[in-house]
Chains A and B, each alone.
Chain A
Amino acid sequence: MWNAKLKALTLIVVYQFFFLNGALADEIKIAVASNFYPTMKELVKHFESITLNSDTTNNIVLISGSSGKHYAQILNGAPFDLFFSADKLRPNMLEKEEVFNNQSRFTYALGKLALWSSFNEYVDSDGQVLYTDDFRFLAIANPKIAPYGVASKETLTSMNLWQDMEEKLVRGENIAQTFQFAKSGNAKLGFVSYSQILSLNSSSEGSYWLVPQSMYQPIEQQAILLKDSSLGKDFLSFIKSNEALDIIKRNGYDLP
């Protein structure tokens, strides 16, 4: 009798396993640049809500990280379906690889650079504070590896400050870390992304200067499809929809 019960139970468990994981569920893994991660979470939530009534369960897994690291992982066979990079260089290089040459590459957002301080009423509306000697450290993302770092360098260069600033620069490995340096107050000033300022609990915290777009090359963030799947394609076309573009814009990015 116990045997019969056990058999029935096993059957149910096995059946459930297939039911939930096999037939009716789709899964994609998205490697996303850490600066875009909070926005991406919101986008995925919205995508799930509009596809809720369809027959399949969509499971979207986000992997946040630096684009350089993701690039190296993709080249070495990481199981990602989509790659949302912080720049256009890496998707462009991936496209040159035969495997990923599927014409899917496109710009999904334009990053906006801002000079931010966790001190209230410290940064003026023209960034003139950079010319003062009132701060010991200015945090920027490392221009060698981070697109926001390149933009910071271009901004400082166009202000004729790059040479003099050498002594004051501290470099974060990415824009998230740069933000930590400024947020913790260890650096009084920092070049961060505008979307980070918007994601603060109270957006009135600290003070900032939104750097005019004329002072740096546009920070084009591009995405590329790595594996052919219907869910992956659906998600990409959702990203290009007006609803998605609204979310991206609301999070402090410009649209391509």
Chain B
Amino acid sequence: MLSELDISAIIITIKLALISTSILIVIGTPLAWWLSQTRVKFKVVFEAIIALPLILPPTVLGFYLLMTLGKNGPIGRLLESFGGSSIAFTFSGLVVGSVIYSLPFVVQPLQNSFASIGKQPMEVAATLGASKLDRFFTVAIPLARSGFITAAVLGFAHTVGEFGVVLMIGGNIPGETGVLSIAIYDHVEAMEYGQAHLLAGGLLITSFLMLIFVYLFNRHFSIMRGSEK
């Protein structure tokens, strides 16, 4: 059955996914809104940057994080000059990595659903005297509800499925950075295929159920598509 380490890996993974998803919703919402409204010339550049983690191997991201956080890297040096310590091998480090890694999975569904609202509801609200902020919170956000559900579930699921980034910057510390995907990898490496099956099968079923949930709530599942009416 599940060992103590396996259980700690599951807890760490859920904690990481919850915190990362919350941070992503907070920074992803204004970002997605801006992208859906702006007519700035270089919009595609920002969209491309946000989409990068979709196509980059996670090891690329992990490698650069490891380098920038290290003693010779810019962030490592900065932290050291302030007397702080590096965030490599810490839970906070994993949160930073996950936020970058799962960014497109949160921003893209939000952007799509903001774009699909169209101008009309916002203009009607404006003629009724609603302020800009008021319109955003009482019109845009409720109308983009399915986008938020998609974004949250995908951000969560994608963080749970993270491997390459954690492998590079985690250090597999039990109860701190030892996550589920690494635990599965270790079981396979250690030839404990039974325990690997248990965790991998559990993850497979959970991921499947999460996606079923998304599809049920959102029949226009549209992560990869552009703006959609």
Contacts and interface: CB of A to CB of B under 8 A. Distances in A.
Contacts of B173: 169-171
Q: In the complex, which of the residues B67, B70, B85, B189 has the most CB atoms of chain A within 10 Å of its own CB atom?
A: B189
A144 B186 contact: yes
A72 interface: yes
Contact of B89 (A71, A144, A187): A187
Given A136-B85, A170-B89, A184-B72, A68 B189 contact: yes
Interface string B77-118: 000000001101100000000000000000000000000000
Interface residues of B, number: 26
Contacts, number: 74
Interface in B115-160: none
A183 to B, nearest CB: 8
A185 B191 contact: no
A170 B88 CA distance: 10
B61 interface: no
B76 A173 contact: no
Interface residues of A, number: 27
A145 interface: yes
A164 B185 CA distance: 27
Contacts of B71: 118, 184-186
A181 B76 CA distance: 13
Interface string A146-161: 1000000000000000
B191 A186 contact: no
Given A173-B172, A185-B71, A186-B69, A69 B189 contact: yes
Given A69-B189, A173-B186, A184-B71, 7 more contacts: A118-B71, A136-B85, A139-B171, A173-B167, A180-B66, A180-B168, A187-B171
Interface of A: 66, 68-69, 71-72, 90, 93, 118, 136-137, 139, 142, 144-146, 169-173, 177, 180-181, 184-187
